[in-house]
Amino acid sequence: MLTYSSSADTVKERRRLTSAQIIILGFSGVILLGALLLTLPLSSREGTATFFGDALFTATSAVCVTGLVVRDTATYWSTFGQGVILFLIQIGGMGVITVAASFAILSGRKISLMQRNTMQEALSAPSLGGIVRLTGFAVKATLLFELLGAAAMAPVFCRDFGAKGLWMALFHSVSAFCNAGFDLMGVRERFSSLTAYAVQPVVNVTVMLLIITGGIGFLTWDDLRTNRWHWHKYRMQTKVILTSTAVLLVVPAVYFFFREFAALPLRKRVWLSLFQAVTPRTAGFNTTDLTSLSEPGGYITMALMLVGGAPGSTAGGMKTTTLAVLLATAAATFRRRDYAAFFGRRVDVDTVRNAATIFLMYIVLFFGGALAISMLEGLPMYQCLFETASAIGTVGLTLGVTPGLGAPSRLILIGLMFFGRVGGLTLIFAALSGAKKTGSKLPQEKITVG
């Protein structure tokens, strides 16, 4: 009897889903549900059923907080359809697991160890300790920032659109904080994003602050709340995120100011430069015609889209910390040091290995996806690279190519969006959950690189 029980427990253990698999299934389930809702006649303005492929693309883009669209959000979807999209954006921004956990916490249910592990992975938290409190903080902070953003933009949108401005303020606030990039400005001009508000201070400042706030991550905000202005008390990760975010905002803004928008009046030049530096951080809004950028400006935007935001945030991309670790490792190699370090703290080898793996995966998929779309559609490689960077970085900026793509190319972008939101390592860990670690090692032999 004891032997049988042990065997049954072993089988049960093997069948248990890992945290990575739960996260992937959660995102997949929400995407499928959203796609089915968007196919309903109730979701379109014309009251006709929407082609499932278009609905699937829109749902994936919303849940993966990307913003690439094949149908203009304002003119094609009804209020119900827009509500479904906003709901998907909210779930995708906070994370499927975070939303599910918040309902469990509110209902008073006890959170199991397995559930805590999943919550930890979903929020990229360093430890299990305080994960329930951190989840509650993430939900409260999200709702607070989104309501403040909506309140700030409401007077401007109500002035321009009447009572409907309240809905538009809320929609754009949630979309900005979740770094989604969906907009309702198609009522002015289809696919126009925020170009009509290029020099409007309230909309510009509010949207940029929401993008940055959502993009630096809940762990960072929790650290800032706990330690206030005491820089030396911050975790190393918080310091790296804040520093890298500042650099990735200031340097591109200076470039755009002196190069891309140099011919414009000073006021417009300042606003466009600031916004164009912020929005590639996986936000997807634009206040200028992106086709007017020079190729160097386009490639800089692509690089910013690939980097994305911080771990445990509403942003996608390979993350600012990944880039920082790779640069620190390169600096350590140049100085002939044994390890990378930040602010007097050493970075462990596993982190460096993960960063290199993530970087390689993003680059391969970024170029591979663009190459495939270019061959399928007969489009210039530059345009395809821009679209795939936007998809895998979950940004949503576009050169206008996406709406005209065929089904195979759209499937490629869907895959890239899903990869960019869920994360490469999560997908690998989910697929290789049954792989066993071994204590043995192969014989070592040196190989020359560089």
Q: For 285-353, give the secondary structure using H, E and C.
A: CCCCCHHHCCHHHHHHHHHHHHHCCCCCCCCCCCCHHHHHHHHHHHHHHHCCCCCCEECCEECCHHHHH
13 has a pLDDT exceeding 50: no
Q: How does DSSP classify residue 129? A: T
Annotated domain spans of the chain: 18-429
What is the per-residue pLDDT for 295?
A: 93
| pLDDT per residue as tens digits for the range 297-322 | 999 999 999 998 888 788 888 889 99
What is the per-residue pLDDT for 260?
A: 93
Among 341, 399, 395, 340, residue whose Cα is nearest residue 373 = 399
Please give the model's pTM, rounded to 2 decimal places. 0.87
| pLDDT per residue as tens digits for the range 260-284 | 999 999 999 999 999 999 999 888 8
Among 203, 212, 207, residue whose Cα is nearest residue 155 = 203
What is the arithmetic mean of pLDDT over 168-181?
92
Among 114, 272, 259, residue whose Cα is nearest residue 198 = 272
181 has a pLDDT exceeding 90: no
| pLDDT per residue as tens digits for the range 429-443 | 666 655 555 667 778
Q: What is the mean pLDDT of the chain?
A: 86
What is the arithmetic mean of pLDDT over 392-420?
91
pLDDT band at 225 (very low <50, low <70, confident <90, very high): confident
59 has a pLDDT exceeding 80: yes
Residue 346 sits at φ, ψ, to 5 deg, of -85, 145
CB 304, CB 330: distance < 8 Å: no
What is the per-residue pLDDT for 9?
A: 46
Q: Identify which has the larger pLDDT, 435 or 60.
A: 60
For the chain, give the percent of residues with pLDDT over 70.
85
Q: How many helices (H) and strands (E) does the chain have?
A: 19, 2
Q: How does DSSP classify residue 403? A: G
| Whole-number Cα distances in Å, 400 to 193, 282, 383 | 12, 17, 9
| pLDDT per residue as tens digits for the range 327-380 | 999 999 998 888 899 888 999 888 898 899 889 999 999 999 999 999 999 999
| Whole-number Cα distances in Å, 194 to 199, 200, 267 | 10, 10, 17
Rounded distance between C-alpha atoms, residue 359 and residue 347, angstroms: 17
What is the arithmetic mean of pLDDT over 1-22?
53
What is the arithmetic mean of pLDDT over 376-397?
93
Q: How does DSSP classify residue 17? A: P
Q: Give the residue carrying structure tokens 């206040």.
A: 287
